[in-house]
Amino acid sequence: MEPEAPRDGLTDKVIFINRSSKVVKGGRRFSFSALVVAGDRDGRVGLGLGKGGEVSESIKKGTENAKSRLVKVSLAAATIPHEVYSEYGGAKVLLRPASPGTGLICGKTVRAVVESAGVRDVLSKSLGSKNAANVAKATLQALRQLRTREQIYTARGIESRLKKVA
């Protein structure tokens, strides 16, 4: 499924659709949950889970949920500023910066999240659990840990070395 580009500049992509069933007197009753990632491809990304009786209903709810939970992540041009490792549940994700032109070397779930954030060059390894929800949450958690050199200098109260040279 190709991500859509609505008027607000946000793209959304369905990562995973799960069908669950409940056994009732007349047979099985199915419900669906959709894991959706939304982002502006410029440093803002959000993850949402929507549940409903129909697939389209759960995707719509997941998209709204993801758009309401957007967070800002720090990027360095087309890649990430530094290597980062994150764990969520049993899922472990390692993200490494890559040189320009490398592209996204990552699995389907990690790719959807970093692509929505606006990263174009990254190397990643997903370890442990392959549960799509936990891998996506670990990736988002990893992206939230990122800090640029200027942000670290500001937090420590140090004047940027780049400003001293100039």
Which structural domains are found in the chain, ordered by start?
11-71 (3.30.160.20), 73-148 (3.30.230.10)
Locus of tokens 């899922």: 91
pLDDT at 150: 84
* pLDDT single digits (tens) 53-110: 999 999 999 999 999 999 998 888 888 999 999 999 999 999 999 999 999 999 999 9
Nearest residue to 81 via CA among 145, 135, 162? 145
* pLDDT single digits (tens) 104-115: 999 999 999 999
| Residue 120 CB contacts under 8 Å (≥ 6 apart), including other chains | 78, 79, 103, 104
* pLDDT single digits (tens) 2-28: 454 455 788 999 999 999 999 999 899
Where would I find the beta strands (DSSP E) of 53-107? 71-72, 84-88, 91-97, 104-105
The whole model's pTM is what?
Answer: 0.84
